[in-house]
Structure 1
């Protein structure tokens, strides 16, 4: 655990936000150097200047892949100085997701060294690691790009859940922009204009109506958050344009295209829908069955957020979302990881990899 905690601290000190792209590069190069210093073959990849590091036991192929990311959301500089206190490690990225990169690296190193001590070739190891650099902004040049060149049977995205909860389903994402247009006029003579803000406000209430009254266990139904509004440029002018952006999360029970069409028919504003991000639904897998047989106190569940796991379906890769305990502190000023949970997670993953190596599927 000390090695994983100390390595996580090293990674936290990189201010690897997307406003500091050079720090993401430095962090990725640090990981590449660490792996090579431990005689672990790896590949440094870039897509549109976003780095990813791939370490596989065989060329482009592995039965089990651990996936993590090193980019983090913005934070004040003090949060990039890790603090270990009361069994917790605090800092930006402590739980989202630098502990996962560190754990994956140490587990891979230890499994390789263990096999070498037994006189086994690296090719027998059923474990690979993928660490990416853009999960917080969509994962298109990280996970999506890298997974297209990897052949694996089962992927564990170490980016959610808890030690006692494996996530097998995540909601999809739809960004919906509503643009209202009116007619400008002087603020002293509003009757000569048409106020786009007022039109937008009315239409926002209409959109809200499509999400009211929905009930399901664990709130597993579509939700919306009115997250951004742009309108007006001068106090003494009737605004002629206003726009709102909705963050919509949907489930497998929703027809997204039909929902957008219904909203457009019900409002006077223009509705612009971004291409929806897919749901993540874990298919049945013998690997998951084997993991649950080892992790007897762990259950499967759902999550309302989204992660790079959604790309697994695109490449027909069975997988799950799993991780250490962070008490939902992601992106907060109190972000932390429970160190004891790291030990439990490492032990379960180590036993799982050993089980797959000794009894291949």
Structure 2
């Protein structure tokens, strides 16, 4: 099975499985089903978002001891990124690192071990993680899927991601008074009003030049309904992506409301909690031993700035971590995964799953 990882990964990368291409999403699910044709699959669809849940023959319910979680969707890329190539021990391509490499390994490790381990093992393949995971992983959980422990193969370079920031998406809207651009004193410019407000927010949540474990605010986009140069805009909106540390979970929104007061309207679009799984849990202890046994390194914990579908399991009271192979460049034009590391990743997961017998 281990020798099949690279060929399968290349097949997965070729498929442009972005959310705006439903036919390609169908194709990648078709490939996964072909690979796992000997196993029972439950199919889920919510708001046109499809996902799969595989289980071993002995598993008669949706209650698992371990679930391997992988997302098959990727963000859009340039055409050449969907033509995988190998160079200097690296496989390049969109999704190689995030996270089709881990998906390929999880598919094949499940295929090898599902009917050999003496406990319920699940494989969860979703297609909407890059847009929030609400209709894939979360929907399955809402339909009764539970597990004692989940591993999501998000990029971690063999580190164990047991902590992650929460996510808030906000839309702020300022309003003014329209008028002719030649007579601005007769109007009230909503864009300038927004700029002043964003400046106040930036003073509290500044940009950082290096990695820090602090709450960050990204100004994702600004919009106005104005379509011409010679008109004063009377409306402006700004979208903020906020990644907050667990310590800030109760004060981020209240602080922003304090800054905004009655100067603008605030709309909460998404509020996903932070993630934490105790590093001394029996599953993590066994995972650390498996990493040390295969890779010969002392496993490290990592606090993840980005979100993952593990948060949906945490909300349901299930423990979990992100743990993925070695690579670089998720969501960039230069994305790759280390090919030797893929072999080790397979061996680590195999050692972990067999140790639970």
Give the TM-score normalised by the residue count of structure 2: 0.91
* Residues 1:150 and 2:145 are matched in the alignment: yes
- 2-structure distance, mates of 1:152, 1:176: 32
Superposed displacement of residue 175, structure 1: 1.4
- 2-structure distance, mates of 1:28, 1:153: 26
Question: What do residues 319-359 of structure 1 show as CA deviations (whole Å, max 9, x unaligned)?
Answer: 101100112x11111111111111111111111111101xx
Superposed displacement of residue 238, structure 1: 0.9
Q: Cα RMSD over matched residues?
A: 2.0
- 1-structure distance, mates of 2:192, 2:84: 47
Asked if the contact 2:168–2:269 (Cα under 8 Å) also holds between the matched residues in 1, the reply is yes
Superposed displacement of residue 176, structure 1: 2.0
Superposed displacement of residue 272, structure 1: 2.2
Which structure 2 residues correspond to residues 247-286 of structure 1 after superposition, within 5 A?
A: 247-254=241-248, 255=250, 256-265=252-261, 268-283=263-278, 284-286=280-282
- 2-structure distance, mates of 1:212, 1:183: 30
* Residues 1:50 and 2:43 are matched in the alignment: no
- 2-structure distance, mates of 1:350, 1:65: 13
Which structure 2 residues correspond to residues 111-260 of structure 1 after superposition, within 5 A?
A: 111-112=113-114, 115=116, 124-148=118-142, 149-163=144-158, 165-212=159-206, 219-231=212-224, 232-254=226-248, 255=250, 256-260=252-256
Superposed displacement of residue 143, structure 1: 0.8
What is the aligned partner in structure 1 of residue 73 from structure 2? 71
- 2-structure distance, mates of 1:339, 1:213: 35
What is the aligned partner in structure 2 of residue 119 from structure 1? none
Asked if the contact 2:207–2:216 (Cα under 8 Å) also holds between the matched residues in 1, the reply is no
What is the aligned partner in structure 2 of residue 356 from structure 1? 356
Asked if the contact 1:111–1:125 (Cα under 8 Å) also holds between the matched residues in 2, the reply is no
- 2-structure distance, mates of 1:183, 1:304: 39
Which structure 2 residues correspond to residues 34-45 of structure 1 after superposition, within 5 A?
A: 34-36=35-37, 39-45=38-44
Question: What do residues 237-287 of structure 1 show as CA deviations (whole Å, max 9, x unaligned)?
Answer: 11111111111111111123422332232x622222224111111135211
Asked if the contact 1:168–1:302 (Cα under 8 Å) also holds between the matched residues in 2, the reply is yes
Structure 2 SS opposite 1:17:
coil
Which structure 2 residues correspond to residues 94-105 of structure 1 after superposition, within 5 A?
A: 94-105=96-107
Asked if the contact 2:155–2:327 (Cα under 8 Å) also holds between the matched residues in 1, the reply is no
Structure 2 SS opposite 1:46:
strand
Structure 2 SS opposite 1:261:
helix
- 2-structure distance, mates of 1:340, 1:127: 26
Structure 1 SS opposite 2:228:
coil
Asked if the contact 2:170–2:270 (Cα under 8 Å) also holds between the matched residues in 1, the reply is no
What is the aligned partner in structure 1 of residue 309 from structure 2? 308
Residue segments in structure 1 that go unaligned for 5+ positions in a row: 116-121
- 2-structure distance, mates of 1:354, 1:160: 23
Asked if the contact 1:64–1:128 (Cα under 8 Å) also holds between the matched residues in 2, the reply is yes
Aligned length: 343
Asked if the contact 1:126–1:356 (Cα under 8 Å) also holds between the matched residues in 2, the reply is no
Which structure 2 residues correspond to residues 12-23 of structure 1 after superposition, within 5 A?
A: 12-23=13-24
Structure 1 SS opposite 2:247:
coil
Structure 2 SS opposite 1:178:
strand
Superposed displacement of residue 96, structure 1: 1.1
- 1-structure distance, mates of 2:179, 2:141: 53
- 2-structure distance, mates of 1:183, 1:334: 46
What is the aligned partner in structure 2 of residue 88 from structure 1? 90
- 2-structure distance, mates of 1:326, 1:213: 26
* Alpha-carbon distance change, 95 to 318 in structure 1, aligned in 2, over 3 angstroms: same
Superposed displacement of residue 188, structure 1: 1.3
Superposed displacement of residue 41, structure 1: 2.3
